[in-house]
Structure 1
C-alpha cells in the first residue's frame, strides 16, 4: 500500500525591511501575524506575480530588478498539505504599505492589520511557518525544512560512513 502524496502549494512571501531594520508583518484571517504572502499560480512568472501582489494588496510599487530570492522553505503540515515557500526580499519600493481597506461597518477600535516590528521581536501570535522562517532570515540561512520530522528519533546523531 502506498502512502498518499501530499498536496503541494507554492507561495511567495514578501520580505520588506524598512530603514530602521523593521520587518512588515500582516495579520492573517486567522488572527496570526505573518509575512505578506500570495499563492503562486504560475499563470504569470513568480516575480511578476509578486510585483502585482505588492501593488494590489500592499499598495506599493516595486520593480522586478529590486526583488531577490532570500530564502526557500520546504514545509509539511499534519493536515497533509506540503508547500514550498519562497521568501522574496524587496530591496526598494515606492510609497508606504497602505492600510487595509475597511468598510463603513468596521468598528473604529479594530486591531491593526499591518505592523512594522523588530525581526527578533514579532507580535504574538506569530504564524508557525513564519516563526520558523524569521530566525533563519536573521542568520542569513538560505533554506529551511519545517514539519517533515515532527517527532525526531531520540539517540545520537549518525554520520554517513
Structure 2
C-alpha cells in the first residue's frame, strides 16, 4: 500500500496549482511518502525542491484523507492545504494555475474525482469499494 501527499495551493484569485505527470495528465502536486521523515517535513521538502516555494509545517492543514483502491493496489492519499507560502511556484510547462470549475481536460482520474470533493471541505472519502462492478480506475 502506498501513502501519498498532495498539496492544495489556492492563489488569491481562487485558482489551484496543478502539475502535469509523465503520462500527460494533470493533478495536484503530489509526492509518495517514504516515512524516513515525518509526512509534514517530507511535504515541506517536496514543496521547496519540486515547486520552488517555501512553506512551514505550521502552515499545512490536513484538509482531506482518501482511501483509494484499484485492482492493483491500495493508496491512502493525504491532501494538505497550504495557507501561506513564500515565493512563486517555479515556472514550468508542467505546472499551471487553473480554475477549479474549469480544470484541464486531461486530468488524472483520481484528481478529477477528488477535486470537487476537496472544495466542499469533506474530510474523508473512499474510492474503489462501492461495487465490484465499478470500472477499474487507472
What residue ranges of structure 1 are gaps of 5+ in the alignment? Answer: 1-7, 101-111, 154-161
- Do residues 117 (structure 1) and 118 (structure 2) align? no
What residue ranges of structure 2 are gaps of 5+ in the alignment? Answer: none
Cα-to-partner distance string for 1:54-94 (whole Å, 9 max, x where unaligned): 0000000010110000000000113x210000000111001
- TM-score calculated relative to the size of structure 1: 0.80
- TM-score calculated relative to the size of structure 2: 0.92
Q: Write out aligned runs for 1:52-91 (5 A).
A: 52-78=45-71, 80-91=72-83
Cα-to-partner distance string for 1:91-129 (whole Å, 9 max, x where unaligned): 1001100024xxxxxxxxxxx311111112110111011
Counterpart of 1:144 in structure 2 is: 125
- Do residues 24 (structure 1) and 17 (structure 2) align? yes
Q: CA RMSD in A?
A: 1.4
* Alignment length (residue pairs): 134
CA–CA distance in 2 between the matches of 1:60 and 1:43? 22
Say which one has the larger Rg: 1
CA–CA distance in 2 between the matches of 1:39 and 1:95? 23
Q: Write out aligned runs for 1:25-40 (5 A).
A: 25-40=18-33
